[in-house]
Structure formats: structure tokens, C-alpha cells
Amino acid sequence: MTILDLVLIVVGLAWLTTLFLGFYRMWSDIKSVPMERLKQSWAEEKQMYGGFPEGIGRSEELDEAWEKQVYSKSAEPFPTLSKFLSRQKFAQWLDREIKRAHVNLDIGTAFAILLLLSVSGFTLSLIGINFFAPTLQPLWRFLIAILAAFFISYIFIGWLRRKQKQFIRKVETVLPDTLSLMANALRAGMGFQQALDLVAMEGLSPLREEFAIVTRAISLGSSLEEALQGLLDRVPSQELTIVVTAVLVQREVGGSLAHMLDVASSTIRDRIRLRQEIRAETSLTRGSAFALAFGLPALVFVFANFASIVGGDEPWSAPMFSEPEGLKAFGLIALLEIGGWYWLKKILETLEE
């Protein structure tokens, strides 16, 4: 490696570090919600409607939903980018994924994060190729860098999907108790709209906030079908879909809605318990799959190189990074490992569903 290569590596790493630090500083300054801003919002609300419940005023007792509302209205870091992406199909899909993940991100910030990850992956991969395989052809360098940029940017999409699954799991955990509460309210003589209002006020989080959005949409003129469909768009849960479909069918054909909600609550509890049992039974299989896909190859790679170095020879994996055939073999191994892990993961997810 020449001095020019070292200089390029140092400059590239310094550029990436500066880019990350600048992005993080801008993110912290713009998306932070100081307490003065919250108190000012409380003051405006008090002037408009008058009075608050007793005890409100200390920072630790500020209403969580109001804090989230003020947080969501904070200034966008990239207003021009958000305006440009507002009518793009990809941006609409990304905005839907963000809303389903229930994270405080706007479309401009999310797209900027994707660009940052893509540029970082492209730059770091070129630096790594220049360090480990300086003789590789430019076309192969470019293709590998593009694949690395795509893979690293997909990490953000994977994080959103993980957040969605976590939120859906929380919703499904409290869904049986919420349905029982609605059934008891119906037996007490309340209507379905009143039962929804009761869940929105007395239900368990995070489903309480979602039903609050449903009741607000109905009060603003939306039909029950449209409001419940919006709920399914925000929370794409199979259990919730079954319940909403049963409620809409029951309203068409008639019958005891309270009894139907009780049956749905019991069924969902049984399904959740069965899913937990399956997950517990397959925990060893998931650990073995991860060990075979990543742990064992990594250990073999490390110990084989260590044994060759101790024996006085060059590292065992040196031809993989110095010869074109070795790089092709290394890429094929990586693709097979990732594909095998993805296949096993999909099988286990199918069993859990």
C-alpha cells in the first residue's frame, strides 16, 4: 500500500466522521423539545380552554400524549426535501412504514438517513477494497460498493420493520383485555361508540391511543368503517384484523356484540399463548441456526488464520483478499451464508404465525 492510499483512507474516514457528527448535531438541535416549549403550549391551551387538572405543571407530570404531540410538530430538518418527496411513490411507501413503526420521523429526515447510510456504505466499502484488494478491477470495485451501499441502507428499513413488529406485539398483548373491557361496557348498556370512547380513556396503552384516533375520526365525520380501516392501516395486526372484520360483519347481520367480543378475546389469548409456546420450543433451533450461519464460520476463519500465522506462514485467508478468484469465492460464501440465514428465519417466522 502506497502513501497515497493511506492518505485517501484517512481523508475518507475523517469525512465520514465529520458527516456523522454534523448530522447528529443537527438532529439533536432540531428534534429536541425543551421544557419551555412544552410550558408555552400548556399556557396557550389554558388560555383557550381554561384550567388544568390539579398537579399539572411539574416536568415529570406533563401529559405524555401532549408531549408527543408537541414533539411531532417540531421543525423538520429538511423541509425542501420533504416537499420534493411529498408526491413520490417511494416517499409515500416510506411514510406509511414510518407511521406503522410509530417513530418520530418525518419523510425528509428518513430519506436523508437513507442517503447518509448509502453514501457511508459506498465510501467504506471502497476504502476496504482499496486496503484489502488493491489489485481488484475497477468494475468489480464499483459493483461491490453499490451492493454494500444498498445493504447498509436496507438496515434502516429493517429497523423500521422491527419497530413495527414490536408495536404490533404490544398491541396484541393488551388486545384481549381491551376487548373484555368493551364487552363489559356493552353489557352495562353502553353503545358501541360509547364503548370506543371508554377504551380511548380507560384502556391500556398503546391500543388506547389508537382507539382515541378512531373516536376522533368518527367525531370529525368519518364513518365507523373508514375509522376502523384507518386503524388497520396504522396497526397491521392479524389479530386486530380478525376483530375488526368480525365487528363489521356483526353490525351487518346482527347478534350479541358483547358475546362476540368475549369469544374473540378468549381466542386471541389462546393464539398468543400458543405462539409463545412455539417460540419457546424453537428457541434452541433459532440459536443453532444463528451459530451455524455466523458463529461457526467466524470461528473457523479466526482459528485457521491464527494457526497459519503461528506456524510462520502467511494468513490462511490472504488469497481471498489478494486474488480475484479468492474475492469471488469470498463473495459467494457471504451470499450463501446470508441466504441460508434468511431462509431459516423465514421458516421459523412461519411456524410462529
- Are both 180 and 233 inside the same structural domain? yes
Residue 107 has pLDDT above 50, yes or no: yes
The pLDDT value recorded for residue 52 is 45
Find all residues with CB under 8 Å of 127, minimum gap 6, and list them. 8, 9, 12, 13
Final residue belonging to a domain, choices 278, 307, 340: 278
Q: What is the number of domains present in the chain?
A: 2
Question: How confident is the model at residue 121, as a pLDDT?
Answer: 83
For residue 206, cis peptide bond before it (omega within 30 degrees of 0):
yes
Element (H, E) at 297: helix 296-310
Give the per-residue pLDDT at 176. 92
- pLDDT for residue 151: 86
Shared domain for 191 and 288, answered yes or no, is no
Residue 67, pLDDT above cutoff 60: no
Residue 293 pLDDT exceeds 50: yes
Distance of CA 107 to the CA centre of its chain: 14
Residues 223 and 204 in one domain: yes
Question: What is the domain range of residue 315?
Answer: 282-352
pLDDT of the residue at 164: 92
| Residue 103, Ramachandran bin (φ over 0: left; ψ between -120 and 50: alpha; else beta) | beta
pTM: 0.69
C-alpha cell at 322: 489478494
The helix/strand/coil state of 239 is helix
Tell which of 278, 293, 326 closes a domain: 278
Residue 314, pLDDT score: 74
More confident residue, 106 or 209: 209
Position 3 scores a pLDDT of 64
Domain final position from 213, 243, 278: 278
What CA–CA distance (Å, rounded) separates 213 from 159?
A: 25
Rg of the chain, C-alpha, whole Å: 27
CA distance 272 to 265: 11
Rounded Cα gap, residues 145 and 139, in angstroms = 10
User: Residue 247's domain is classified under what CATH number?
Assistant: 1.20.81
| Predicted local confidence at residue 323, as pLDDT | 73
Residues linked to residue 58 through DSSP beta bridges, in sequence order? 56
Whether 108 is covered by a domain: the verdict is no
Kindly state whether residue 2 falls inside one of the protein's structural domains.
no
Segment 3-29 shows an average pLDDT of: 66
